[in-house]
Structure 1
């Protein structure tokens, strides 16, 4: 069938340029058309295998993340059917697996635990509203062409957030492993110290057994299977069956030994069979207003995380991701989640990597996975009732551990102290103040760090490398300098944020070298000069001229010169000049003066 579709599309495009133009436009907004045009039987075979493997993960993860968010289990299952189907139509990633994710689940739980939201007494409706609002916010962002927003949240902030959220999730799930009661004080790291209330031995035993299976099926088993020569896809298939096996064994143990009634082992409970009716009954003005801030943060993080994950697999295959189209796809997916009574969705890291490793070629794999999950929801939900919550907690813990990146924080701190502070404070903010507050704190600190760096740009007094026309920092290299010539290289655009620092730096150098007659500002790294900076440069020029000195410019870029030539600044420089090369400035201004040799000392 795929070959027939491809043949018809290609035939039309070759014979008539107008349909080809229409097809290109359709492909832009419906990427599924693009990969269907070249879809083959081998692609389907690969997608079928990957879809089955991914479906194995969807059931336990969907239920687990619903419970993590404090919701009925069916909300995670519903969010794993229609949303990935919509993403398959509109998404540009061929392997991204869209559905419930742990980070979104903990953000939902945080939003629902707010006093004004919990007072409403309808967490399911509030969750569906979060899905709808998140989808609408993403679509509005797409309309405003805000796909590039992904670049405005730095990696340290994102890492600090995910690490902090991971610690919250771990703290939330550890009591489930031992059958401890959930705290009444909400998602606050401080209240987990009050947990010493005893534990359920049977629950702990099931949890430890589940963790053992999950760990065994991880690196130990994959290493063994690779050694005996099995293909990567087979190894992936076997190793990723661990969540399903733990659910199966845990359910059998509860049923056979009657652990629920005799030992009070907590289980999932009744899960409704069949699909929910598509509905708009969740529309409520007051709830929408209260939930809007939380929905905005969920939309932002879901988008950033999804695009980051999609780029990882796309880069491995030489494919491209269209960020703005991803907003459309994720927005439509979340609206679909709202219509079908599901929780907010995003791209899941573990499922995506499983889908990719299993050999998925296109989103057909996710369509197959959603179809298989639909069958499970229709006919097999009675089997889900006896699933122990401790097993689901173990699955969540194993899925969340790769997101806990404490080593990355140490690496960032060593490389850049400002980024390291932002990362640590984001993590602490999430733990102490909450999800939204932690992210906001991290973003503010990142902006503050950026402003600090841009307000104190790197400036170097440079000299000439002997026998060359290369100019380097006098503190790092052995260079030639001239007693009446100051060569100053500014390694940043000149703006209102840093012009005062540049002026003070120049003043200090002139005070240190009173014999200077000519100042040359090297603009190799200057891409822009704003109005405030231009006025300051004019004042600097007048002050230098008043003391018998000249201000000169060298190696200015074309766009900078275009802006300067719209003013009379170049005329004001006279007798100072604009030089094409630093070497030209030295040749004319230093004249016959013999240079002095300085031995650079790195500071």
Structure 2
């Protein structure tokens, strides 16, 4: 049973499930379902797909995640970042030439699911740590700007521009806006903005509970869809004012099938699927950890790979687009009081009812309203100020974040991510290749040793204490040797060099060989090399060699003060 609970976490929380939990999950599920309908349609259109693919991806995949996932609040379904990556993959010349974007999308879902399950089999749950937060933030901000740029024409009823670099052409292009479409979009934006912080602040002042405030404020997307649809239908805006609408959405569930298995597009889509799988997993786990930390719960990254992989395979089986954990939906689900994944099961059930009985009502939903919903959902992901904050703290990370954003905008989504990862690795190698090294002395009347450039310390003319704040590797041993040579040139009276290994966790073979050469050079110059405060694992490795014997008459000291007692005289 314990092993079964490990792979099916739903069993664990069902054991202690109560009526009170269900009442709170029911409320949260209804609120999340209200958000699922417009977002599912909007993100499918953002990806350049028929709207039903977003709805199908919001039914069966959340159910599979509820069975296998370890987060009790994560809302799995279509997400904006994945949608723009899908659109990028489908627009590639070799993919668009094949036609049938629906089949390509279903194949992407299947490939993403299989890639995630393979990663889980290889115990690659820790892969989430290999994309730094600055790179992920830069990518998210860059993708958000792409999404905003793609939705602005929808707000004004403009077609895709074909002006290229002709600036004068854009003046004529902008003048071709549709007044009715722009009016609907501005009204929708106004409602969404008012239902945000202004209404939340007002409702809180009235003393309403957090769950009620969340429920009211998060009804805004559905309200704008309903009002916009009624306006289009009543005033015949589609036929008379040429307002773009969603169009007919098939009723009922799709037929579950494996027809996509026989397609020839798998190889062409595989690189894009790998990138989407990586980003979907990293972002989903990051969101899941946020809500888990707020409640003192625990996320199991490798199990999340299984859950997300199963959810994407379910999307492929039911003809849906790829899925991941959505930030806005998850936070709505959490704020509405969801206790377990039962809330998402309820939301999926309600959406199933909508797909069966109410899809004819979706035909006249204005695309401008959906564009407004996307813009309001994506704005919190746009973190341009964060680049300045990161730059001030660490220029290497700040540069990686900025170049990832620019790479996404200039070269493309996959290229931007790769550029950010390369810069992060380069920054890490630079830091390890030039570790912090300090000449230290003793704070008077203590056993504390500190940097002579930062503190008033006691030093000795014939003793040189050097603290190395990094493992000693082939990549930094030359830098360490040059530093030591420079310090000895400045302090020619030195007779004993003491290397403090407090922060040294490892010494590789190349570094050990270089230390032996340094030791021989010092001995020829009539000086000794000594070691102090080395960690146990480092000493274990050194004892397997004859390095400690080679040090003589140099010694290994347990404490820095022991070195002073032995060498200061």
TM beyond 0.5:
yes
Of 489, 497, 510, the residue aligned with 1:532 is 510
Please say if residues 81 and 371 of structure 1, whose CA atoms lie closer than 8 Å, have aligned partners that are also in contact: yes
Corresponding residue to 1:364 among 338, 342, 364? 342
Which of these residues, 399, 418, 421, is aligned with residue 396 of structure 2? 418
Decide whether the 8 Å contact of 1:171 with 1:192 is kept in 2.
Answer: no
User: Does 2:253 correspond to 1:275?
Assistant: yes
Question: 1:373 matched to which residue of 2?
Answer: 351
Q: 1:155 aligns with which of 111, 125, 133?
A: 133
Structure 1 unaligned residues grouped into runs of 5+: 1-22, 592-603
| SS class of match (2:264) | helix
Change (3 A) 1:558 1:62: same
User: Which residue of 1 is the match for residue 35 of structure 2?
Assistant: 57
Shift of 1:485: 0.6
Alignment of 1:263-412 (within 5 A): 263-284=241-262, 286-412=264-390
* 1:136 counterpart (111, 114, 117): 114
Which residue of the partner structure matches residue 82 of structure 1? Answer: 60
Q: What are the equivalent positions in structure 2 for 1:560-579 lying under 5 Å apart?
A: 560-579=538-557
TM-score (norm 2): 0.98
| Counterpart in the other structure of 1:10 | none
Q: Structure 1 residue aligned with 2:499, among 517, 521, 525? A: 521
Does the 8 A contact of 1:76 with 1:343 survive in 2?
Answer: yes
Quote the residue 1:30 is aligned against.
8
Structure 2, unaligned stretches of length 5 or more? none
Name the counterpart of 2:438. Answer: 460
1:41 and 2:19 aligned: yes
CA distance in 2, matches of 1:587, 1:459: 24
SS in 1 for 2:441: strand
Provide closer, same or farther for how the CA distance between residues 195 and 503 of structure 1 changes in structure 2, counting only shifts above 3 A.
farther
2:482 corresponds to: 504
Q: 2:471 aligns with which of 489, 493, 507?
A: 493
Question: Residue 163 of structure 2 contacts residue 170 of structure 2 at CA under 8 Å; is this kept in 1?
Answer: no
CA distance, structure 1, for counterparts of residue 170 and residue 517 of structure 2: 61
TM-score, normalised to structure 1's length?
0.93
Native 8 Å contact 2:157 2:182 kept in 1: yes
SS in 2 for 1:57: helix
3-state SS in 2 of match to 1:282: helix
Does residue 413 of structure 2 align to residue 432 of structure 1?
no
For 2:35 and 2:263, locate their aligned partners in 1 and report how far apart those are by CA, in whole Å.
Answer: 36
SS in 2 for 1:514: coil
| 1:145–1:195 distance in 2 versus 1, CA, 3 Å | farther
Cα separation, 1, equivalents of 2:35 and 2:305: 25
Cα distance in 2 between the residues matched to 1:109 and 1:197: 27
1:256 alignment counterpart: 234
Q: Report what 1:11 is aligned to.
A: none
Q: Among 220, 234, 238, which residue is 1:242 paired with? A: 220
Aligned length: 565
Q: 1:119: Cα distance to partner?
A: 0.4
In 2, the alpha carbon distance for the partners of 1:286 and 1:157 equals 34
- Counterpart pick for 1:212 among 190, 195, 198: 190
Q: 1:546 matched to which residue of 2?
A: 524
Residues in 1 aligned to 2:493 and 2:425: alpha-carbon distance in whole angstroms: 40
RMSD over aligned CA atoms reads 1.2
SS of the residue 1:479 aligns to:
coil
C-alpha distance after superposition, 1:394-436 (max 9, x if no partner): 0000000000001111100110000000000000000000000
Q: Is the 8 A contact 2:254 2:319 kept in 1?
A: yes
CA–CA distance in 1 between the matches of 2:488 and 2:93?
62
